[in-house]
Structure 1
Amino acid sequence: MTAEARTAVVTGASSGIGAATARALAAAGYHVVLTARRKERIEALAAELPHAEAYPLDVTDRAAVDAFAAAHPSIDVLVNNAGGAYGAEPVASGDPADWRAMYEVNVLGVLHMTQALLPALTASGDGTVVVMSSTAGLATYEGGGGYVAAKHGAHVIAETLRLELCGEPVRVIEVAPGMVRTDEFATTRFRGDTAKAAKVYEGVDQPLTAEDVADTVAWAITRPAHVNIDLLVVRPRAQASNSKVHRTT
């Protein structure tokens, strides 16, 4: 089947990696369904892309996700990109509400979308589930407890699902980005404090961009059907690990 005849759903497509991934898949010829809570943003992006559709959706709302699945019976690719980090306090003083919100979107959001769309993905005869995790899902760092726990959950979903779907015509791809500079991620994490957000990238030569990650995702999806990129970790050259980053200043 050609890419032009295939449909890809991208969650969290209103900005950052999600929007860039939607653009990359559209450029590869996919019909792209953009989902996110911010209706105006995904509608504006859909208007820029060929064969694109905007569908406002909160992935933490299971009833809404089920309605989305019912309205889209033919799906070939699901990119579970919706996520986010809230707060950078240590475990001792972290806000349980932040931890709950991160678990809801990063873990249960992936679960809701995957469960709801898996029948269609399987029926396609060549389905692909992408889980956008993070290097935070593979190693810990101070001040990241809640986000690290949530991304570990996303990583485990991908790993377990791959085992459970062995023999089925569905690939499970996990992409784990390291330091990515986007317009919103760090600012959201620091509750709108742009000075704190800027310090995350201070002195780092060329952090990843959303387009870098989107290019990686599109490459993994467009491999031949028998090729599964189980786990792809992508970091900028300046970052050796979550705690080892070269800074010029």
Structure 2
Amino acid sequence: MRTPLDAHRRSSVHARLVRRPLNGGDWPAGARPPALPGSDLHVWRIDLSACEGSGDDALLSPDERARAERLVNAKARARFRCARIALRRLLSGYLRVPPGELALEYGEHGKPRLVSAQGSDGAGDAPPFFFNLSHSGGLALCAVGQLGETGVDIERIRPLSYPGGLARDHLSPEERRLRSDWETPAARPEFFRIWARKESILKAAGLGLSRPLNRVDTIRGELDGRSWWLMDLLPGDGFTGAVACARKPETVRLWSWR
């Protein structure tokens, strides 16, 4: 997904928000998904270098392979393929369906969903199942749940030539008041934390970047008057992330995909 931050690179807390980030030490290795999440929310951290050259491209759909080929950068193509392969293997483990047989469809703003898991193919008795995927640099996050629409975002914390300008353009007045030094490098991690929160809510809502980011209130966890449960994530050094869900999970369980 192209974002205002991509354009920038080319040219150069309310009770619903869980403020305690889950950090890198909380991501034990997992070889396969456990049982369906039920009242919990599962988040997987994926090392995209681990599947490069794995020869699993046959698992991807023709659409996924075509989307990868449209990416100009070879590393970006490889990471896109790796993220989608890992997603298919994860969903396969939860749903006991061969990864190459999973049918995905996309909403108006590009949010993927499982055709077979949510009854779009006529399986009206299929249990609710929601997931979302995000990748940045060499890491990806996949959130899986059954409590309603879910969104996840990961951001690599990187230099910004004009952090103050980006804060003025994309943060709400309440968010900008969280600190007074948005022009300085010290504000960079906080800026990316807020950005990840915004994208996770937008992705949960299925809206992508069709809404101005300053309309997403990460202090209250709200978008267009609707409240979202929201949690910060720390996937690793130099990265930040967030996950949003329509309902508060009983527990958030984290794993590193192996």
TM, length-normalised to structure 2? 0.31
When you count strand as a share of all residues, which structure comes out higher? 2
When you count helix as a share of all residues, which structure comes out higher? 1
Higher relative contact order (CA 8 A, sep 6+): 2
TM, length-normalised to structure 1? 0.31
